[in-house]
Structure 1
Amino acid sequence: MQEQNRTDKNILKKGLKKLAICLILMFLGPTLLHLTLNNDDKPLYIPLLITSIIICISAVIILFLGLTTIMDSMFKRKK
């Protein structure tokens, strides 16, 4: 008889935490990028530009990792 797959709640919580972090970064990155591009005459222009781009890229990566974690919690079969 085949065992039904059940959602692992601990792994699901980890995935939801990653998505919460991603949500914060999705607002922080573009906001910082917009503020940086509007003030291109300031001395911290290049470091802030690099930082905001890194934040935007990390938001996408954490989104992918969070969704993968949630899918693993729902569809991975335990041995």
Structure 2
Amino acid sequence: MLSPIKTELVCESLFKSMGTNKELLSKGIKYLAGALPLLFIGPSLIYNAFMNQQNAWHYLVLAIGIIACLAAMFLLYLGLKTIMKSLFND
């Protein structure tokens, strides 16, 4: 069994070796910040397209809304993947 002193040394050495890559972390946060407005704009555009079906621009607005939603999901994926990579040094 490890003594408390050895346990502290092991924990300290583990945490010192687990450094966070700050550049990758900030890049991941930027991806998430880019996804945040798209998370609101996309569904709003889709709702607007379905409420204005009599308009000639209905399909264009719907397509833009769907693209915005897909872009938001992609940016969320990239952001979370980048943050995990920065935290766990893969």
What TM-score results when the alignment is normalised by the length of structure 2? 0.79
Kindly report the root-mean-square deviation, in angstroms, between the aligned alpha carbons of the 2 structures: 1.6
Number of equivalences: 77
Counterparts of 2:78 and 2:26, CA distance in 1: 13
Deviation at 1:5, TM superposition (A): 2.0
Name whichever structure is richer in helix by fraction. 2
What TM-score does the superposition give when structure 1 sets the normalisation length?
A: 0.89
Shift, 1:66, TM fit: 0.3
Letter in 1 for 2:29: L
For residues 87 and 50 of structure 2, what CA distance do their matches in structure 1 show? 41
| Structure 2 unaligned blocks of 5 or more | 1-12
User: Identity over aligned residues, as a percent?
Assistant: 38
Please list, as runs of the form range in 1=range in 2, the aligned pairs for 1:21-36 lying within 5 A after superposition. 21-36=34-49
1:17 equivalenced with 2:38 (yes/no): no
Alpha-carbon deviations, 1:27-71, whole Å to 9, x = none? 110011111110011010111111110110111111011000000
